[in-house]
Amino acid sequence: MRTTVGIVGAGPAGLLLARLLHRAGVDAAVLESRDRRHVERRQRAGILEQGTVDVLRAAGAGERMDREGLRHDGIELRYAGTRHRVDFPALTGGRSVMAYAQTEVCKDLIALRLADGGPLLFEAEALAVDGADTDRPRVRFRHRGVEDVLECDYVVGCDGSWGVTRRAVPAALSRVFEQTYPFGWLGVLADAPPSHDELVYARHDRGFALLSLRSPSVSRLYLQVPAGTDADSWDDGAIWDELERRVEAAGAPPLTRGPISQKSVTPMRSSVHEPMRYGRLYLAGDAAHIVPPTGAKGLNLAVGDVVTFARALVHRRETGSDALLDGYSATCLRRVWQAQRFSADLTALLHRAPDAPPFEDRLQHARLERLTSCRAAATDLAEGYTGLPF
């Protein structure tokens, strides 16, 4: 096979990049190790920043999102039995976020890719990237038991932190910055209408809790739990009871309970791989960076990466200059580190570390009081949450 851009991974980053390149007249091929059903069912992010919403609309991928997604103009913070709303449009000049699950984004982009007719190979396992530092990189892959080679001008790795593309960057050139947290998130999908029309972030002495949603009839809910917790050790009744305790606040309506259809524990960690480019190999999304889910940045950072690459490649075609491609890593990393800062700050603000001393508890309350009483502090949160411009 021969193409201009070989894309490894058919998550939202790889699929969106394929769509952006198609609309720009650049041919690309997408390789995905899992089957289509898996890609369209794996639960991940559900909050889209304003910039991501704008990009999907501009790419012709926003019709169902606009019809079925739920716009959120703020979040509610709860602590010490009190409730405080952060109004995004009022603090950011009109920016908001959209609740629309990653599974739905992938369904939309897969349908468009198939309609466009561009190569999209499921069950195509990338085995290695060869010649990344040449002008003819190659991706060796196995498709349904048969090995083949994809010859490209560029390779974009959207295959996650354990994929083959990151391993193609020489170890001597790689630097990985990491932080792990002593807790994780027990996340559940419940067949129950959301208990609040916006996301609720709760700081409690027993640990963090989050009320989110996937649709008007499906709630997405999270509890802070110790690292290594087995999701099956929590029965449904215990999950609902603990959520009730942690989100309790004066004037708050009771939770709407319902059957829990899925539950899992997400580890909490931060990671950045530098550089994000090696020769003609470009890393995007989880292949380059992981953020804790507190700030809802993972999918949105991936969108920023592929938008940056697509713009740089179009710039080269129009001007003959490699300047933007050469600057890809530095450009993306500026945004990545700001998202890491935001996610780490929000995580530290709302989670209670095991054996945290009373002094740390008091500091958290002081920070929350500052955030909910100072417009400048609330503006910083709102700007970070709705996302930096691409």
DSSP 2: B
Cβ pair 156, 17 in contact under 8 A: yes
Are 197 and 173 members of one domain?
Answer: no
- pLDDT at residue 2 in the model: 96
- pLDDT at residue 93 in the model: 96
Q: Which string of DSSP letters, residue by residue, matches 60-101?
A: T--HHHHHH-EEE-EEEEEETTEEEEEEHHHHHTS--EEE--
- pLDDT at residue 219 in the model: 93
Establish whether 385 is a catalytic residue. yes
CATH of the domain at 360: 3.30.9.10
Cβ pair 212, 266 in contact under 8 A: no
Q: Name which of 199, 255, 214 is nearest 72 in CA terms.
A: 199
Please report whether residue 83 resides in a domain. no
The CA distance from 167 to 376, in Å, is 42
Establish whether 72 is a catalytic residue. yes
Establish whether 201 is a catalytic residue. yes
- pLDDT at residue 309 in the model: 98
204, 273, 297, 351: the catalytic one is 297
Establish whether 222 is a catalytic residue. no
CATH of the domain at 21: 3.50.50.60
Please report whether residue 79 resides in a domain. no
Strand positions, DSSP E, 144-255:
146-151, 154-157, 175-190, 199-203, 209-215, 218-226
> Which residue is associated with the tokens 């980053």?
13
Cβ pair 193, 264 in contact under 8 A: no
Are 158 and 30 members of one domain?
Answer: yes
Are 135 and 153 members of one domain?
Answer: yes
DSSP 290: E
Are 167 and 225 members of one domain?
Answer: no
- pLDDT at residue 77 in the model: 98
What is the tally of structural domains in the chain? 2
Are 133 and 44 members of one domain?
Answer: yes
DSSP 355: T
The CA distance from 52 to 29, in Å, is 23
Please report whether residue 206 resides in a domain. yes
Please report whether residue 77 resides in a domain. no
Please report whether residue 86 resides in a domain. no
201, 222, 282, 328: the catalytic one is 201
Are 322 and 214 members of one domain?
Answer: no
- pLDDT at residue 74 in the model: 97
72, 196, 204, 289: the catalytic one is 72
Take residue 22 and report the two structure tokens written for it: 């198609």
Alpha helices (runs of H) in 219-287, residue ranges in sequence order: 236-247
SS3 209: strand
- pLDDT at residue 390 in the model: 83
Please report whether residue 88 resides in a domain. no
Take residue 366 and report the two structure tokens written for it: 């002081």
The CA distance from 147 to 160, in Å, is 22
154, 292, 293, 351: the catalytic one is 293
Structural domain span for residue 276? 5-71+98-177+269-345
Rounded to 5°, the CA angle 130-132-135 comes to 110
Please report whether residue 335 resides in a domain. yes
Q: Name beta bridge partners: 156.
A: 7, 282
Are 199 and 103 members of one domain?
Answer: no
Are 40 and 112 members of one domain?
Answer: yes
Are 18 and 156 members of one domain?
Answer: yes
Q: How far is CA 270 from CA 169, 227, 298, 329, in A?
A: 20, 14, 11, 18
Please report whether residue 289 resides in a domain. yes
The CA distance from 19 to 42, in Å, is 21
- pLDDT at residue 79 in the model: 97
Take residue 83 and report the two structure tokens written for it: 């409730």
Are 219 and 336 members of one domain?
Answer: no
Are 327 and 209 members of one domain?
Answer: no
Q: How far is CA 316 from CA 163, 247, 309, 312, in A?
A: 28, 51, 11, 6
**What pTM was computed for the model?**
0.94
Are 248 and 147 members of one domain?
Answer: no
Establish whether 297 is a catalytic residue. yes
Residue 347: φ, ψ to 5°: -65, -45
pLDDT mean for each 10 residues of the chain (390 residues): 97 97 97 94 85 98 96 97 97 96 95 94 97 97 95 97 94 96 96 94 97 90 97 97 97 94 94 98 97 94 98 97 98 97 96 92 96 97 93
